[in-house]
Amino acid sequence: MSRLVFSDVDETLITGKSMFDFLGFYFTRRHGAKGTRHAERTRRHLNGMLSSGVSRAEANRAYYEAWKGQRAAEVAEWGARWLAVRQQQEGFYVERTRAELMRHRADGAVIVLVSGSFPAVLAPIAADIGARHLLCTRPEVRDGVFSGRIVGDPVIAEGKREAVRGLLRRYPHVSPGDCHAYGDHLSDLPMMAEVGHSTVVGGDPQLLAALAGARTISAQ
């Protein structure tokens, strides 16, 4: 193994936003109409935060407040169900990104998913594509139940940079210049700036402007 390949998830590896999609999927199917209302309130609250200029990192913290009181093991089981259902629907993965990650893995690279989402959602995806590491936001669990807080910092923007650097330290024989990163949004820039080869999925002009010479692939 001579390189790591880091990939954002939402709108980079998959076409949708995993956190919001799973929020509605879980609460509606697990808690019925009451759960649907809870998910809708949470979505409106988070959209309002972002519209008012709150950072993505702070909105990420607020997202996990919605999970307070849910049993972590049960949520993880529902995460596997969510992926099974979504994979039956056309267009779940960004196929170009998925194919490139599969090629990297076949060439001996270590695949790493980097996301502000959480293990209940991301672990099934990681298993499906053969990712070895998952760098993500971790909800705090007390007595098997989500507390509504997170452990450490959100893996958003600068949090992605720190997570990538931390993992690279565990692979001292790997040169960051030989590694790859895939992302779709300016918030992925801190992660992508840490490696030698960047691929922008979907052509975000701000991200392309910040990454001179980066490759671009379609998000379709």
For residues 148 and 142, the answer to whether their CB atoms sit within 8 Å is no
How high is the pLDDT of residue 218? 87
- 72's CB contacts (< 8 A; 6+ apart) are 120, 139, 141, 144, 145, 146
> Per-residue pLDDT tens for 123-133?
999 999 999 99
The dihedral through the CA atoms of 94, 118, 18, 116 has a sign that is negative
Superfamily per CATH, domain 4-217: HAD superfamily/HAD-like (3.40.50.1000)
User: Per the structure block, which two tokens stand in for 158?
Assistant: 């600068």
How high is the pLDDT of residue 1? 64
pTM over 0.85: yes
Percentage of the chain beyond pLDDT 90 is: 94
Mean predicted lDDT score pLDDT of the chain: 96
Here the contacts of 131-138 (C-beta below 8 Å, separation 24 or greater) are 131/7, 131/101, 133/167, 135/6, 135/160, 135/163, 135/164, 135/166, 135/167, 137/60, 137/64
> Per-residue pLDDT tens for 53-110?
999 899 999 999 999 999 999 999 999 999 999 999 889 999 999 999 999 999 999 9
**Residue whose token pair is 């590896």:** 13
Q: How far does CA 176 lie from the centroid of its chain?
A: 21
